[in-house]
Structure 1
Amino acid sequence: MSGGARRVLEAWKLGVVKYGDALRLQEKLVAERRAGRVSDLVLSLQHPPTYTLGKRRTDHNLLLPEAELRALGADVHRTERGGDVTFHGPRQAVLYPILSLRAVGLGARRYVEGLESAMIEVAALYGVQARPGAAGETGVWVGDRKIGAIGVRISSGFTCHGLAFNIDPDLGYFKNIVPCGIADKEVTSLRREAALELPPDEVIHDQLVQSLARTFCFSDVEVKDETECADMVCLAAATQS
């Protein structure tokens, strides 16, 4: 990556955000980033129970009808990200980087590898040896158990969507889908794999952001909380998809 100048990554800490609101916020921010009105940033949040499908629309990997999934209290969304079906929910750390890959100096493959690296680094802090997926496996794994999912969208060199790292979500929700289209592997969590006591979820969110910033050679992280981001969040939430 070309360098020398000090580069700051903004981290927007948003708490729990409905998936549709987060999707509209990303769309708004990508447009703002493309126009140069915001800098590189990452959204750090959690979602209420939600199933999402990627642009390939692999509905056959939903093992229950949508009406039954919604009856369980989970939303269902179809998106334009890469990857297959996955689940988002409480106690899962979600990061959505809104970056100019040209500014970061990365291609798509290296970018995805950076997302993997951030999750692997944080897992290691708790004594968990994670690895990137092998051929045909997306995301990050502990042995043959998946701990982190990746699904990105890159449009004209600008990123959205991102990663989901399982801290301690209700893994039962994953039994209603074929996670990421891989039928013969389990989903796991940091709580299940770590021998150490885990800190509050917010700490792990922050560790993921810091690891991501180091991986992509940002010199500093500037944290913005929900109050500081309120205007943009409300504007996006009020926009109809």
Structure 2
Amino acid sequence: MLPTPTYTLGRRQRSLTPDQHRTLSAPLTVRQPWSPPDAEPITFTPDVLHSLRGGLTTYHGPGQLVLWPVTDLRSPHHPHFSVRAYASLLEDTTAFLLRSRFGIATFRDEDNPGVWVRSDDPSRGPDRKIAALGIHLRRHITTLGLALNITLPTKGSTEVNPWARFTPCGIPDRDVTSVAAEVGADPANVAVSENVKQELDPEAIARAWGQEFKRRLEAGG
């Protein structure tokens, strides 16, 4: 079963206007990656929710891997982390996975959290976010975390591209991308090789990410 597409608002974000809410909650058409052209798409009515994280509006849905470790930053079982150091741990773990598994080079932006792909080719548009970051901390225990775009659409109309309905994270001069887009594996192309499909399998990516996260957590970053 596919997860329900969900738009989340930051804890300090103003409530949406009725028009903004209607735009986000309008029916969204989702296709399973690598499905045949005659396969019936699934239409969802996205949820629109407030969250405990900072920042502005973002999206979670099918084709995205949500990685939310619950971590005691003062645990005796690993070096202690500040919130900033923990955010860097999440970003660095993701950057390592993208580079080692897919050959995708990324960078961090101190002013805009997350994991970014730099645009060295003007035809590809501006720098683009491949993973969004949002952390909530209570009594040094973390919740929330990071969401990595794997196969979800990042181009197209508002009927199929969830990002076209709002300005992601409130940054108008940047774009959004996915692992599939960066490696040239179109989820609508049924001829994509089995090897590529296996590399893009969310469960396999989650296992690899978890192993690297554990290694870095125990090493102190």
Regarding TM over 0.5, the answer is yes
Compute the TM-score of the two structures, normalised by the length of structure 1.
0.66
Deviations 1:192-218 (A, max 9, x none): 012573422211121221221122118
Q: Which runs of 5+ in 1 are unaligned?
A: 1-14, 17-46, 219-241
2:36 match: none
By relative contact order (CA 8 Å, sep 6+), the higher-ranking structure is 1
Q: Which runs of 5+ in 2 are unaligned?
A: 28-44, 119-126, 155-160, 186-195
Match of 2:53 among 60, 81, 84: 81
Deviations 1:17-76 (A, max 9, x none): xxxxxxxxxxxxxxxxxxxxxxxxxxxxxx42110011121556x895213422322110
Higher helix share: 1
Q: How does 1:71-220 map to 2 (within 5 A)?
A: 71-72=26-27, 73-103=45-75, 104=78, 105-124=80-99, 125-132=101-108, 134-143=109-118, 144-171=127-154, 172-194=161-183, 197-199=196-198, 200-217=201-218
Q: Secondary structure at the match of 1:98?
A: coil
2:72 and 2:11 mapped to 1: Cα distance?
A: 22
1:202 and 1:63 mapped to 2: Cα distance?
A: 37
Compute the TM-score of the two structures, normalised by the length of structure 2.
0.71
Displacement after TM superposition at 1:83 (Å): 2.2
1:50 match: 6
1:64 and 1:214 mapped to 2: Cα distance?
A: 46
Q: Let me know the Cα RMSD of the aligned residues.
A: 2.1
Number of residue pairs the alignment of both structures matches: 172
1:169 and 1:137 mapped to 2: Cα distance?
A: 22
2:129 and 2:102 mapped to 1: Cα distance?
A: 16
- 8 Å contact kept, 2:55–2:169: yes
